[in-house]
A and B are shown apart, each in its own frame.
Chain A
Amino acid sequence: MTNIEQTLPEEGDRLENAIELKEVEGLSQGQIVFRRFVRHKGAMIAVVVLLGIVALATTSIGWGPIPGWWKGGGFGGSNPVEIPGGRPTLQVFGENGFQIGNYPFGQDAIGKDMFALTMRGTQQSLMMMVIIGLIATVIGVLVGAFSGFFRGWLDNLLMRLTDVFIVLPTIVIGAVLGKIFGSVNAFILAVTLGFISWTGLARLVRGDFLSLREREFVDAARVAGASNARIMFKHMLPNAMGVIIVNTTLLMSAAILLETALSYLGFGVRSPDVSLGLLINEYQTAFATRPWLFWWPGLFIVAIALCINFIGDGLRDAFDPRQRRIPTARALRRTEKAAAKRAARAASVGTVDGAGG
């Protein structure tokens, strides 16, 4: 490393390179990406917040086999209104200091527990987000990979198919299909939405595969006798992973907003099932009298989407090989000091050596 540094001409360049080199010294690609991601403050905060939301939503009212610790009434039934008007019992700077109470997010006109409803809606949104993300990623990667690898008529056919799905605004198909399936349950709606939101990813993966297939390592694999499937999924796919991961996160944040929009329009999840968009739709007229019915579901939508967007941004920065972080003045000073110390040590060692020799 010292050798490389010494061959570099300029002081500023040398320092920047020292930082860069230290960053990638002896690490695998995955480790480099992980390190860069962990250093992205916004993304790390987003990961923590998102995990917190997931934990809160799953454990509080329980989800499937997971038992819930929240006892304030199920999300379906109604209870007597505790505080007149159903105002939230959550107090941060109240007369008793911080307290949660029985109905932290308040109650609606017939006494439903808003906290339980919001948690249930969050569960649904998270579940749909994951399903849509999974299905869309699998289809998008497959279509893009085949299209980009084989080119020719298959590429033409698959890309025109993608065009068909792009031409139709997602909200239109979502509404039509939601009208067919929406009354069944949220799971089927998520599957259908997954089947129509893969188009962007397919195009990106195709573009990546088109350029990857001309690279030397693909030729090498072919000469070594690898099958098409092995080349595609063992050799090329890992190289396209950055694009795929980043776009999957962005797709998932779009999926959350799409689901809430569809539920808001009345084509998505239907009552008595609960989703965040449906809650906002039901309670939007109550904004003037009971604003908390409107605030809490909205805040959770925004928080989830915001977290996913930040994570996606962090992943993009981490995967981008061209991304050269411009070092801050402080980082430059620090490296300068370290370099000076090293130089001093080297100099002293040198003199000792010189004296000895």
Chain B
Amino acid sequence: MLNFVLRRLLSSVAVLLVATFLVFVLADIAVDPLEDLRTSTAPNKEALIAERIALLDLDTPSPVRYLSWLGGVAGCAVGKCDLGLAWSTNQPVSELLASALIVTLKLVAAATVLAIVVGVLVGVVSALRQYEGFDYGIIFLSFLLYSLPTFWVAVLLKQWVAIGFNDFLRAATISPLAIAAISLVVGIVFSSAAGGHWRRRLVVLGSSTVVVAAVLAYISATKWLLDPSLGPVVILVSGLGLAYVVTSISAGLRNRRALFSALTTAVLGAALWFPMQIVFRAANGGLIAGLAVSAVVAGIVIGLLWGGPDKWVSARTAAFVAVGVGFLIFTDRLMQAWRPYSESSVINGRPIPTIGSQTPGLTGSYWVVTLDQLTHLLLPTLALILISFAGYTRYQRASMLEVMNQDYVRTARAKGLTERVVIMRHAFRNSLIPLATIVPIDIAALLGGAIITERIFGWTGMGTMFLRSLDRAELDPLMIYVLIVGGVAVLANFVADLVYAALDPRIRVNA
């Protein structure tokens, strides 16, 4: 094992060295740092050129300059980092890199997590409904999303989601025809996902259509979107619903202790809404993170208090419910900041921005600032999700189908286990193994690959740093980009191998 790790590390370093060397030499041919001076009409043109050549050491051949760059980077190992300078602005690369990395992480993190969760969910449902209407619809949708160029989607999103929604907010009413159409579409999607006998489908179709129509009518009639809020009653009702859903998936409704601990958590959470309004006045990032952790802990404690032979199942169920209810309370508080946010002078009633990562000149409470960041994240996150969601869905569907046809699933059914246990415990868990090897590689690709998304939405992350350095003929930031992206890719491949070996006992890594 140790031998394997060492050999992999050594070959990875060699690969990185060769790759960075290639890029350095290629980029040195591609860019021309003297471009602006060649066409300049300054009287001291020759002197300026000579000065630039001396500054960038252009008389030295590029392999030698690569070595000196490498020496500076290798200094990081002994604590003397020298990543170089972006010469046209005289900014140290380490500063550029730090800010770019943070921006990119912010952009990518939420999108990746959401795309994985939604993709896996839809993939599983699609596999369970193989060769039915829902499955065919999902297959077509994922192919369509797979074939869309990012920049094309982004322009459409800007036009329809941002500008369209902002225009819509002027009136904030939905026409009855739109309500009928939307609720019918939602109903059809739900009923085809529910599957089964036609009577069950009709019931699902009817009930979901009516519920969605009622909610939309309420939103339209009260102009809820101008001043949204949930309130304790809605939180209580949806918390109870969440408790039922989570229990039926995670423990089965027959497990009464799990159900009761989930319900207790939901009721307690809704009751906590009142004191939380006071606590939230002093909100900051640390406090919210602490509250999230304590919600999980509270859920686990409630589950354990209900006791029983399988108290950890109850604890798990209650913890999920606690996170859900906590999220609802948090959302409710954010919604309360919506009106002051959208009516503030810098926003001016058009709350969904199309560009940038924050509104310049916006001041306000923690909630207003958070809301501002979220609205800026909305469009790029949507674009990234639309693109990568398709891949995850297809992958999860294929892997789930493969597992569902295995003999051990048939055995589990033959033993008389319920369908929930067969799907959740035997099939779903094993179907996640192949996914675990793709996720690290995808995250690595996203870190450097959101170039187009960043550019369209005006985020100054890693991709922008790369494009800008190529544009301004600055080799140092370009090289650090390649090094980071390449290093993360190598590392991700390595992690993927180890994860696979750890999850699947049939695979051994001593080869």
Contacts and interface: CB of A to CB of B under 8 A. Distances in A.
Interface of A: 42, 160, 163-164, 166-169, 171-173, 175-177, 179-180, 253, 257, 260-261, 264-265, 277, 280-281, 284, 287-288, 294, 298, 301-302, 305-306, 309-310, 313, 326, 328
A33 B467 CA distance: 45
Given A265-B452, A305-B147, A179 B131 contact: no
Given A287-B155, A313-B143, A302 B148 contact: yes
B470 A179 contact: yes
Given A169-B448, A306-B143, A326-B131, A288 B482 contact: no
B489 A167 contact: yes
A171 B449 contact: yes
CB-based closest 5 A-B pairs: A305-B147, A167-B486, A179-B30, A306-B147, A163-B15
A164 B18 contact: yes
Contacts of B30: 176-177, 179-180
B201 to A, nearest CB: 17
Contacts of A176: 23, 26-27, 30, 470
B174 interface: no
A284 B155 contact: yes
Interface of B: 11-12, 14-16, 18-19, 22-23, 26-27, 29-31, 130-131, 140, 143-144, 146-152, 155, 159, 445, 448-449, 451-452, 455, 466-467, 470, 481-482, 485-486, 489-490, 493
Contacts of A264: 149, 151, 452
A74 to B, nearest CB: 26
B470 A175 contact: yes
A298 B27 contact: no
A80 B12 CA distance: 60
User: Which of A167, A265, A284, A288 counts the most chain B CB atoms within 10 A?
Assistant: A167
A173 B466 CA distance: 12
A160 B15 contact: yes
Contacts of A167: 15-16, 19, 486, 489-490
B55 to A, nearest CB: 22
A163 B13 CA distance: 11
Contact of B466 (A163, A172, A287): A172
Contacts of A298: 149, 152
Contacts, number: 109
A177 B144 contact: no
Contacts of A306: 143-144, 147
Given A163-B15, A172-B482, A280 B451 contact: no
Contact of A261 (B26, B151, B489): B151
B147 A260 contact: no
Given A160-B11, A176-B470, A179-B470, A168 B147 contact: no
Given A173-B26, A180-B29, 19 more contacts: A42-B140, A163-B12, A167-B19, A168-B22, A168-B482, A169-B485, A176-B470, A177-B26, A177-B30, A261-B149, A261-B150, A261-B452, A264-B149, A264-B151, A284-B155, A287-B155, A301-B149, A302-B149, A305-B148
B31 A302 contact: no
Nearest to A156: B11
Contacts of B152: 280, 298, 301-302
A292 to B, nearest CB: 14
Contacts of A166: 489, 493
Nearest to A182: B30
A326 B449 CA distance: 39
A179 B140 CA distance: 37
A251 to B, nearest CB: 13
Contacts of A309: 143, 146-147
User: Which of B16, B146, B150 counts the most chain A CB atoms within 10 A?
Assistant: B146
A328 B27 CA distance: 57
A208 to B, nearest CB: 18
Contact of B485 (A172, A261, A280): A172
A210 to B, nearest CB: 12
B9 to A, nearest CB: 13
Contacts of A261: 149-151, 452
Contacts of A168: 19, 22-23, 482, 486
Nearest to A297: B152
B144 to A, nearest CB: 6
Contacts of B467: 175, 265
B358 to A, nearest CB: 24
Contact of B445 (A169, A253, A294): A169
Contacts of A177: 26, 30
Contacts of B490: 163, 167
B391 to A, nearest CB: 11
A265 B155 contact: no
B149 A277 contact: yes
User: Which of B131, B143, B151, B152 counts the most chain A CB atoms within 10 A?
Assistant: B152
Contacts of B146: 253, 305, 309
B31 A179 contact: yes
13 contacts: A160-B15, A163-B490, A169-B445, A171-B449, A172-B23, A175-B470, A176-B27, A177-B30, A179-B31, A260-B149, A261-B452, A264-B151, A302-B149
Contacts of B19: 164, 167-168
A265 B143 CA distance: 24
Nearest to A180: B30
B87 to A, nearest CB: 18
A177 B30 CA distance: 7
Nearest to A304: B147
Contacts of B470: 175-176, 179
User: Which of A172, A253, A277 counts the most chain B CB atoms within 10 A?
Assistant: A172
A177 B26 CA distance: 8
Nearest to A267: B470
A287 B159 contact: yes
A179 B155 CA distance: 25
A173 B448 CA distance: 13
Contacts of A288: 159
Contacts of A179: 30-31, 470
Nearest to B140: A42
B284 to A, nearest CB: 37
A309 B19 CA distance: 31
Contacts of B130: 326
Contacts of A175: 467, 470
A253 B147 contact: yes
